[in-house]
Amino acid sequence: MKKGLISILIVLVTAILIFTGTNLIAKAYLADQKPADIASLPSNSELLTVNTTRIGSDDAFETAVAVAQVIYPATEEENTPGAVILVNINNLPELLVAANRIQHFPVNAPLLYVEQSNLPQITRNELLRLNPEGVPADGNVQVYLVGTIDASVNDAVNQLGFKTRVFTAPDPIQLAEVVDNWTSTQHGDHPNEVAIANIEHPEMAIPAAYWNAHMGQGFAYVTSEGVPEATKEILKRRANGAWIYVFGDESIVPEHVVRELAQYGQVTRMPRNDPSAISAYFSGFKDIGADWGAWFWQKARDFGWGISEAGHNAVFVNLDGPTGWQNAVTATTLSHMGKHAPVLILDGDGVPDSVRNYLMVLKPYPTDAQQQLLNHGWIIGGEETISWQTQVELDTLLEAYPFEE
C-alpha cells in the first residue's frame, strides 16, 4: 500500500515539474521575441476575426473570383450557378445594370470582370471551374455579356463551349431598358418597385445593386436634366404606376427631376448625399404595403432591408481603395446568396460616422451564450482597400456589448 502511494506521488511530482518547466521555457521564448518576429506571422492571420471575414485582394479581378468561389464551390448541382455574368471592369453604370437586373433568380449568377476586348486568364479559369449549368427559362444560356464588350470576348467564351447571350445598347440608360424588357420575360411581369440613380452619380446607387441582387426588382437611370425616354418607357410598363425610390438628395437628383418622375408613380427619396450615408440609411429603410390587385389577389410591395436589430450580416466596401467601385460592386453576390447582407460603404481608411452610428443600433446585448445574437461582416478587398486596423474596429462594432459587473 505504501509503495503504491509512493508511486502515485512520484508520478504527480514528475508531472508538476514537467508542466512547470515547459511553461518556463515557453515564457522565456515569448519574452525573447522581438516585434519583427511577431510581424513575420503569415499574412493570412489577419484575414479573420471573430466577427469578420475578408474576401479578395486589392485586385478587382481576383476579388470577383474570390467572391464567386465563396458562394459557388461548384462541387454539385446545389452549389453551382445557373450562369455567369461578364461585365466591363471600366464601366460602373453598366455593371450596376447587370447587378440590379440579371443576377437574381432565375439566373443565379456571380459577376466576373473582363476588359472591353480581352477575356483575362483568371476570369477564363474561373468560368471553367464554375461550369454554369445554364438557365432553363432562357434556353440554357450559361454566360451573359453585358454592355461594352467586343465580339472577340464573346467568341472566346463560345470557344470554351459556353452558350451566351449579349446585352448591348448605345448607352447605359438604354441598356437598362433592354435588360428590363428581357427580365420581364423571365419573371412574367415588371416589378413595380424601381430604384432610380442619376447616371452622373452612379456610385450613390451601389446600395440598390445589393438590394436588387437580393430581390430582383427594377432599376433605371435619370440625368440632372430630366427623365430620359428609355426610363419613361421602363416606368410606363409598371402596372397601375411604379413605386419609385430615388438614391440621393436634391444635390444628387434635382427636385425638378423628382417632380417629373412623380408623373409615373409614387416617389420616395433616400435623402443623403454621399455613398456611406446612403448605405447606412438604406440598410435600415423599409417600405411595405399594398401594391395592386383586388382584395382576394393583392400584390404587396416590399423595398429595403429594414434591419434595425442585432443578428445580421453586412458587406463592407471602400470606394476610395485602389480599385474603387470595382471591388465593391462585384461583391453583390453576397447579398444574392451569401447570407443576404446589405452593403455598408466606408469612407477612406476608417469607419464614417453614418456607418458607425448604424452599427451601434445593431450592436447585440449580451445574453446566454447559446442564445446570443451575432453580427458578421464581410470585408471586401486587401489591406490597401480596407486596412487591418479598420477591420478590427469593425469587429469591435459588430461585437456584443460587454457584460456589466
At residue 7 the predicted structure's pLDDT band, cuts being 50, 70 and 90, is low
Has residue 102 got a pLDDT over 80? yes
Share of the chain above pLDDT 70, in %: 86
C-alpha span between 67 and 224 (Å, rounded) = 34
- pLDDT tens-digit readout, 257-279: 999 999 999 999 999 999 999 99
Asked whether residue 3 is assigned to any structural domain, the reply reads no
pLDDT at 339: 84
Has residue 27 got a pLDDT over 50? no
pTM of the predicted structure, to 2 decimals: 0.86
Give per-residue burial for 146-161: e unless 16+ CB within 10 Å, then b: bbbbbeebbebbeeee
- Tell whether 156 and 193 lie within a shared domain: no
pLDDT at 326: 95
Cell of 404: 456589466
Has residue 44 got a pLDDT over 80? no
- Tell whether 384 and 337 lie within a shared domain: yes
Asked whether residue 256 is assigned to any structural domain, the reply reads yes
At residue 215 the predicted structure's pLDDT band, cuts being 50, 70 and 90, is very high
- Tell whether 105 and 163 lie within a shared domain: yes
- Segment 344-367 mean pLDDT: 93
- Tell whether 68 and 154 lie within a shared domain: yes
Average pLDDT, the chain: 88
Asked whether residue 6 is assigned to any structural domain, the reply reads no
Has residue 39 got a pLDDT over 80? no
Distances (CA, A) of 163 to 89, 131, 158, 178: 22, 11, 6, 20
- Tell whether 213 and 154 lie within a shared domain: no
- Tell whether 204 and 132 lie within a shared domain: no
Q: Which residue pairs from 263-271 have beta carbons closer than 8 angstroms and sit at least 24 positions apart in sequence?
A: 264/227, 264/232, 264/235, 264/236, 264/238, 265/192, 265/194, 265/235, 265/238, 265/241, 266/241, 266/242, 268/243, 268/244, 269/245, 270/207, 270/245, 270/246
pLDDT at 163: 98
- Segment 75-85 mean pLDDT: 96
What CATH number corresponds to the domain at position 283?
3.40.50
Has residue 37 got a pLDDT over 90? no
What's the one-letter identity of residue 288? I
Asked whether residue 30 is assigned to any structural domain, the reply reads no
- Of 299 and 132, which is predicted with more confidence? 132
- Of 187 and 341, which is predicted with more confidence? 341
C-alpha span between 352 and 390 (Å, rounded) = 11
Asked whether residue 18 is assigned to any structural domain, the reply reads no
Task: Choose the final residue of a domain: 282, 304, 326.
Answer: 304
- Domain range for 230 is 189-291+298-304
pLDDT at 402: 80
Answer yes or no: are the C-beta atoms of 164 and 146 closer than 8 Å. no
C-alpha span between 137 and 41 (Å, rounded) = 50
Has residue 383 got a pLDDT over 50? yes
φ and ψ at residue 167, rounded to 5 degrees = -110, 120
Task: Choose the final residue of a domain: 241, 275, 304.
Answer: 304
- Tell whether 241 and 157 lie within a shared domain: no
- Segment 113-141 mean pLDDT: 97
Asked whether residue 7 is assigned to any structural domain, the reply reads no
pLDDT at 35: 37
- Tell whether 286 and 323 lie within a shared domain: no
C-alpha span between 146 and 88 (Å, rounded) = 8
- Segment 322-333 mean pLDDT: 92
Give per-residue burial for 330-364: e unless 16+ CB within 10 Å, then b: bbbbbbbbbeebbbbbbbeeebbebbbebbeebbb
At residue 367 the predicted structure's pLDDT band, cuts being 50, 70 and 90, is confident
pLDDT at 212: 96
Measuring CA to CA, which residue among 138, 115, 43, 147 is closest to residue 391?
43
C-alpha span between 184 and 182 (Å, rounded) = 5
Asked whether residue 230 is assigned to any structural domain, the reply reads yes
Q: Is 131 exposed, middle or buried (0-12, 13-18, 19+ CB in 10 A)?
A: middle
C-alpha span between 77 and 134 (Å, rounded) = 11
- Tell whether 232 and 264 lie within a shared domain: yes
pLDDT at 140: 97
φ and ψ at residue 362, rounded to 5 degrees = -85, -5
C-alpha span between 90 and 114 (Å, rounded) = 9
pLDDT at 278: 98
- Tell whether 248 and 203 lie within a shared domain: yes
Lowest-confidence segment of 178-187, 367-376, 384-393 by average pLDDT: 367-376
Share of the chain above pLDDT 90, in %: 75
Has residue 19 got a pLDDT over 70? no
- Segment 363-387 mean pLDDT: 90
Has residue 45 got a pLDDT over 90? no
Has residue 42 got a pLDDT over 50? no
- Tell whether 162 and 230 lie within a shared domain: no
- Tell whether 132 and 230 lie within a shared domain: no
Has residue 173 got a pLDDT over 50? yes
- Of 188 and 262, which is predicted with more confidence? 262
C-alpha span between 87 and 147 (Å, rounded) = 7
Asked whether residue 114 is assigned to any structural domain, the reply reads yes
Total domain count, the chain: 3
Task: Choose the final residue of a domain: 170, 201, 227.
Answer: 170
